[in-house]
Amino acid sequence: MIDISLRVNGEYFEVSIEENLRLIDLLRDELKLLGTKEGCGEGECGACTVIMDGETVNSCLIMAFQANGSNILTIEGMEKDGKLHPIQQAYIDAGAVQCGFCIPGMVLSTKALLDKNPNPTRAEIREGISGNLCRCTGYNKMLDATEKAIKYMEEEK
């Protein structure tokens, strides 16, 4: 067992973990943050995407000990004071949420993109979510949602 500490959604955790525990298992099984989904478990689908120290990672490919000392954002950390993040609201309003399985990872990839580039082109949005697979929507709804989110965030300012 190894002791690690990390911050998840602003909350500080100290945990004892097996060396072979993956980050997704730490989040889902130990911390009970079930919003992070496991699709392939092989780094292909992006359903397990979280933001670690500002960068998107596939939490199925990262060992939990590699997250020692890091700051992680999962989908549960997006809403504030009971209000959805503008990106989440925009995904709903644009009709981008169908079965919903890919959405937590998709929303976090969108957030990481907009944090770095608040006004991306449609091509840059497509590139930003290119690591996230969706079996339902054909992706155009995600592009619409991201453009809507940009408007919502500008209005909030």
What is the spatial distance between Cα 35 and Cα 144, in angstroms, rounded to a whole number? Answer: 23
Hey, which residues does 57 pair with through a beta bridge? Answer: 50
Q: Tell me, residue by residue from 51 to 70, as one string, x for binding to ligand FES by CB under 6 A and - for no binding.
A: -------x-x----------
Q: How far is the CB of 16 from ligand FES (least distance, A)?
A: 24
Two tokens, residue 112: 């990481």
45 Cβ neighbours under 8 A, 6+ residues apart: 39, 102, 105, 132, 133
Question: What residue type is assigned to position 35 of the chain?
Answer: G
- Using the rule CB under 6 A, which residue among 54, 79, 115, 135 binds ligand FES? 135
User: Is 52 strand, coil or helix?
Assistant: strand
- Using the rule CB under 6 A, which residue among 136, 147, 152, 153 binds ligand FES? 136
Binders in 81-100 for ligand FES, by CB under 6 A: 98-100
Q: How far is the CB of 31 from ligand FES (least distance, A)?
A: 17
Binders in 30-49 for ligand FES, by CB under 6 A: 38-41, 43-48
What is the spatial distance between Cα 104 and Cα 50, in angstroms, rounded to a whole number? Answer: 8
Q: How far is the CB of 102 from ligand FES (least distance, A)?
A: 3
DSSP 83: B
Measuring CA to CA, which residue among 108, 33, 110 is closest to residue 64?
33
Q: How far is the CB of 138 from ligand FES (least distance, A)?
A: 10
Q: Which is nearer to ligand FES, 48 or 94 (CB)?
A: 48
Using CB under 6 A, list all residues that contact ligand FES.
38-41, 43-48, 58, 60, 98-103, 134-137
